[in-house]
Structure 1
Amino acid sequence: MRVTTEIKVIAGFSLGFLLMVGLGVATFRTTKGLLDENQKVTHTFEVIVSLDNVIASMTDAQTGQRGYVITGDERFLEPYNAALPRLSDGIERVRQLTVDNPNQQKQISELQRRVKRNLAVINEVIALRRRGDAEAAAEVVKSGRGKLGMDAIRQLIREMKDEEDRLLSARTEKAKTSARRVVVAFFALTVAVFLLLSFSYLLVRRDVARRKMRESALREMSLTDELTGLHNRRGFLTLAAQQVRIARRTKMGLLLVFADMDGLKLINDEYGHEEGSRAIVTAGKLLRKAFRESDVIARLGGDEFAVLVVGSDDVDGEFFTSRLREITNLHNERADAPFVISMSVGVVRLSDVLSIEEAMSKADELMYEDKRRRRAEQSFPPRISLKGEC
């Protein structure tokens, strides 16, 4: 079964579509993985920031306590009062963010206990100062219990941040890997699309070129005489019509030369049709030598030939007739054949007639006049007899 261009293109696009779907799915999954890893990285940063907020709030509470102990002014407790809800919210925020990490959940519980113990020391100092026992409050501060509690909180938060830094490093590396995969997948998808389009273009171009070649070959076959390689009647009429239109626009002269082989029937009868065909081919070659490449030379059928001489303003028909006979005579002198080539010729200038068909009819008449005249004058070459021919 012959596969048409349409089927090839559809098959190519279908294959390419499936390939792009596969690559698209891979790209989607890779991109989703990248987004997930980026989200995890962002999540880790949020945990670290929340831990920093806890330690900052604890520091504010301690700062407020010290200011109040020194001055006894309640205004210095504002940082302490503001820090209490932030501490509660901050610890709860860290708990929510690390709900998928059992180790961090244990650490948060311990952090909550240490914060509670340290706040108890701070509250004790504040209570003593409010009762007016500044000396006792100062002694509690000097005891270092608050500092030890704060150091323990910092140490625990440092450990928790180290855990988050480790996760951050791993997640960042995964994000980079996912990003590289996205780039590779996107590049592969781009290359696949490019190759698909290139393949489809080349496929269509090749088929179009083949079709043009077939059409050209068919057109050439329809316009070319198979035996001589000259134009056939159809080809001659087609090209002659074009040249006539051009000549009328440019005022260029055209000559129509009709040539008919003399004695072809005798050659066929005496030497066979194979030799007759060889004689026809030889006549075609002689016409090619006698005329120019720009002229339209054709075998109209049988032993009849026609030539449309393009741009013939400066010469007349006699010039080409004489040239053809000189070339033919030279060939006959040199040829090693049992017969000679001879042609009768009729020439018409197209400006004297209305159409190419009329010119062909007129040239045909003149050609037969030439044949009759030469027969009467017995001017045919030796070994040619036209008895019974016209």
Structure 2
Amino acid sequence: MPKLLRRCTPLAAPATAAALLGVFILVDGRGFDRSAAVAIGLCTAVAAARLVPQSSLAFSGVVLLAQLGGLFPGVMMSGVLCYAAIPLAVFFAALVYQGKPWLLPSFCVLLSALVTANWLGDSVWLNFVFGSALGGGLMRNVVYGGLVLGASSALCISAWAAAHAVVSASNSRAAQLRAEVSLQLTHVELAVEQERNRIARELHDVLAHSLTVIAAQAEGIRFIHRSEPDAVEEAAGVIAAAARTALRDTRHMLSHSPGEKNPAPTLSDLPELARQFQASGMPVTLDNDQALDLSPNQQLTLYRLAQESLTNAFKHGRRESGAWLSLSAGPSGVELQVVSALAGTPEAPSREGRGIRGMKERATAVGGSVSAVASAGHFTVTAVLP
């Protein structure tokens, strides 16, 4: 709407002025002579109202003063149709005027007073309209002047109010469009932030586990490469498998579209996950309910939760004591529980790390929940997915 107003108003004002002047000439049967001077002057003010609103209204006042001073013919010769240009000039001026709010209404009253003075000053027109119905004294002038002033003021104020309403509606629409654009930008920023968090969470889960396994195996190779060559080969196989898994999961995470070439991990990959930790020095007891009917997204979520829990147990717990992983159907949904032995003093962590926070975010995304509790020398992670 604002663009439409900006494009149409410069053309609308001159077109309206030309149309009004044409109607004046056709209806009143006049030509471009002295009797059309007032009409031409007021229509010129309409044409320029959009470009110079204050000056155009001031010019209308000058035309009316010139008529009042006798420079232009009176109402009887000029006709009444030309005065319709005054409310139109007010309307177009109010569309673009952004100055003091009281100025245009003041112009309306002033122009109406000049119109009234012109009408009262033309005795021929006055006698033609009223005749002797009200006599020829002060009463007729008061009644006639009140009617003309009231009608002219009402028309001009109405034109100003109409323009004000159009501008307010235009501004409201512009504000609505800005709000919609801002909302769309917010949605885009939110989507970008969510995608950034997803990538960060996936990278943490994938790389933290794989690099932990690779680092543990590499450290072991340093001590056994001379005395136990067979164990070195096994450790190298674990390193290669962990690296391949990390590469596969990273590709899947970046593409965000599971397919045959980069399949997402499922619950069937849990035994291999347990084997990697077993080969790295942390026994994992796996109690997996094979009868669970879960969607690919649920399986991926449970796998990542198990992977992160076991990685935390390997890094921060007493790895030689091993970990116990249970997956079963409970009253609230599918329940995953990972229990590991704490290293050192059995105290709960002072604050959540990235891993636990990421697990909670991942579970919440599918309507589930995660709790992590340190008690009696053990650290227990419990996840429930509906």
**Normalising to structure 2: TM-score of the pair?**
0.31
More helix per residue: 1
What is the TM-score normalised by the length of structure 1? 0.31
Larger Rg: 1
Compare relative contact order (CA 8 Å, sep 6+) and give the higher one, 1 or 2.
Answer: 1
